[in-house]
Copies of this chain bind each other. A is one copy, B any other.
Amino acid sequence: MVPTPYHHGSLRDFLLSEGRQLLVEEGPQAVTLRGLAKRAGVSHSAPVRHFKDRDALLDAIAAEGFDELATALSAAEQQEDLHSRLSGYARAHVRFALENAALMDLMFSGLPRAGDSAAAQAAARFFAQGATMLGEDGHSRPGPLPFLLAGTLEGISSLASTGRLARDQVDEVTETAVTLLLPAIREQLDRRGRSSD
């Protein structure tokens, strides 16, 4: 077996996917540039060609995470009635978080270092998607509901993935959140629907 040369960008892909896997399976302290280089069979300074530093790699992983999360949620958004749509969205969010705890942590609790980073842009797309589902047009400044929905789901996810909220109670808490948010969201959607102002 000839060792793969990792030319033409394939090292970049390796760093991203292996880094992501290490992050989720062993935690953030396990993703090191030197360790990844060793796994790739490449010199310890090779990764720098593709990611300026460790933070740049983590930023790229976070960006992928936001895109993946958005994809995981988009199925729910196709649901016909509002309750199913919201409920499916919420459950998909929490499920993704439970399966990718350390990744979600990186995505949501990592202070965005630059507004124009890949992660910051992917995050903006993710939040815009949620706002759209709640009838925000994207022109004017979003109201409180998109933030409240995103925050609530993030909080429930965090409690669940740190084990503070028991697995068998996650669905109940999520559904309670949806039930309490639903009337306010419905009212907002009705209002926006009526006047196209």
Contact = CB atoms under 8 A, between A and B. Distances in A.
Contacts of A110: 162
Give me the 3 closest cross-chain CB pairs, A-B, nearest first. A151-B155, A155-B155, A154-B155
B169 A109 contact: no
A87 B180 CA distance: 17
Nearest to A145: B176
A156 interface: yes
A147 to B, nearest CB: 5
Contacts of A112: 162-164
Contacts of A27: 111
A182 to B, nearest CB: 10
B177 A148 contact: yes
Contact of A148 (B108, B144, B152, B164): B152
A172 interface: yes
A177 B127 CA distance: 18
Contacts of A177: 148, 151-152
Contact of A144 (B150, B152, B176): B176
Interface in A141-177: 144-145, 147-148, 150-156, 158-159, 161-165, 169, 172-173, 176-177
